[in-house]
């Protein structure tokens, strides 16, 4: 998928939902995995939680809170991947949702 930029600041303990229409899977019959390349800056990386929901309703936690991760390094085009949508049909693809909590800056969207 092409680069999408969603500059978003989220106050700590708040939730934001980003939606993407995915149309780059033409010719793919069945999904094996989904990959989201994200660039995220954070004051405390362990405070971040990222959840992906497929158009068919499959929910996946791509990144969970980590109490001992105090890094400020964030993630630079980090490939988060899941096989939880294995067997879903790309013809059903439409709006993928990222549900996020924490304080960060999102620069790019999912890839398939």
State the total domains in the chain. Answer: 1
pLDDT at position 7, please? 58
Question: Strands 95-101, 15-21: parallel, antiparallel or unpaired by DSSP?
Answer: antiparallel
Q: CATH number of the domain at 33, please.
A: 2.60.120.260
pLDDT of residue 20: 77
Classify residue 106: in a domain, yes or no: yes
- Print pLDDT tens along the chain (112 aa): 445 566 566 666 677 788 877 777 777 888 899 888 888 877 788 888 889 998 888 999 999 988 888 888 888 889 999 999 899 887 665 688 878 777 544 444 444 3
Does 85 reside within a domain? yes
pTM: 0.74
Cβ neighbours for 44, distance < 8 A, ≥ 6 positions apart? 69, 70, 71, 72, 103
Q: Is residue 5 part of a domain?
A: no
H or E stretch at 20: strand 15-21
The answer to the question of residue 72 being in a domain is yes
- Distance, in Å, from the CA atom of 80 to the CA atom of 50, rounded to the nearest integer, reads 10
Which residues span the domain enclosing 46? 15-111
Residue 74 CA to residue 105 CA, distance in Å, equals 9
Q: 32-50 burial string, b = 16+ CB within 10 Å, else e?
A: eebebbbbbbbebbbbbbb
Q: What is the DSSP letter of 82?
A: E
């Amino acid at each position: 998928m092409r680069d999408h930029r969603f500059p978003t600041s989220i106050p700590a303990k708040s939730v934001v939902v980003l939606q993407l229409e995915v149309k780059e899977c033409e010719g793919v019959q069945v999904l094996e995995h989904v990959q989201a390349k994200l660039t995220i800056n954070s004051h405390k990386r362990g405070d971040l939680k990222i959840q992906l929901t497929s158009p068919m309703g499959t929910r996946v936690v791509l990144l969970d809170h980590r109490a001992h991760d105090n890094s400020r390094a964030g993630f630079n085009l980090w490939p988060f991947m899941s096989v939880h949508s294995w067997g879903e049909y790309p013809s059903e693809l439409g709006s993928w949702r990222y549900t996020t909590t924490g304080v960060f800056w999102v620069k790019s969207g999912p890839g398939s």
